[in-house]
Amino acid sequence: MTVIRTPDERFENLPDFSFRPHYMELPDEKFGSLRMHYLDEGPATGKVILLMHGQGCWTYMFRKMIPILIDGGYRVIAPDYIGFGRSDKLPSTEDYSFQKHIDWLTAFFHGIEFNGVTAYLFDWGGFFGLRIAAEHAEFFDRIALSNTQLPTGDSPGREVVHQLAHRAICIAGISTGGNGQLWREMLHSTRKRLQHSTRRTSTRVLKRPPAVPDDSADISR
């Protein structure tokens, strides 16, 4: 089966997106190697800010944020998940899973040699990033969360969470041709592996993020 790679010309002349692409080859049991795209902007010696996008989008969503952070002296790294943006796409939805995304991103973080970065996790970026932070706290010093959560299902209202998750699994199964596995793993695999480690890492990871310019409220426009 062949990995799908979006032609470079599809990304030409995008408004406010003149950033140079970077790529890293990641190991994969089924496909051998997959190419992940990422942005690496700002001074090489600057403190690193990691930007992780959500579902249904890619690093293009950070086109307004990156210049502001660079002006503040930071080095900004933003990956496209496998299946998103300029990264390789797999031929079937069944080739994806929550655990595979964790493995791919963990390999990427090791490849970049992350240590004590500040991370901004949006939407699925929190699902993936918080799971990785619980197992590799050394990657992060600070984490800022936006429109996301760590879906362990361990809160007092877990019965409601399970009902909503079941409904989401059903909807995902219908809309993606039966690929409800990803959603199921997000709930059950994360809960199983993180129920003890989240307490160990939370006090270190969730610190106040570094200051940004006062006009940062406009970066998403």
pLDDT of residue 149: 85
Which positions ≥6 away from 19 have C-beta within 8 Å? 39, 41, 59, 63, 66
pLDDT of residue 209: 45
Strand partners, 119: 50, 143
With a pLDDT cut of 90, the percent of the chain lying above it is: 66
Read off the pLDDT of residues 24-75 as tens digits, 9 standing for 90 and up: 999 999 999 999 999 999 999 999 999 999 998 999 999 999 999 999 999 9
Read off the pLDDT of residues 146-184 as tens digits, 9 standing for 90 and up: 999 877 656 555 565 556 556 655 554 444 444 455 655
1 has a pLDDT exceeding 80 = no
Which positions ≥6 away from 31 have C-beta within 8 Å? 1, 3, 90, 95
Q: What gap in Å lies between CA 74 and CA 120, rounded to an integer? A: 13
**Which option is the CATH number for 8-152+197-208: 3.40.50.1820, 1.10.357.10, 3.40.50.720, 3.30.930.10?**
3.40.50.1820
Q: What pTM does this model have?
A: 0.72
Task: Of 135-149, 150-164, 205-219, give the range with the top mean pLDDT.
Answer: 135-149
pLDDT of residue 188: 61
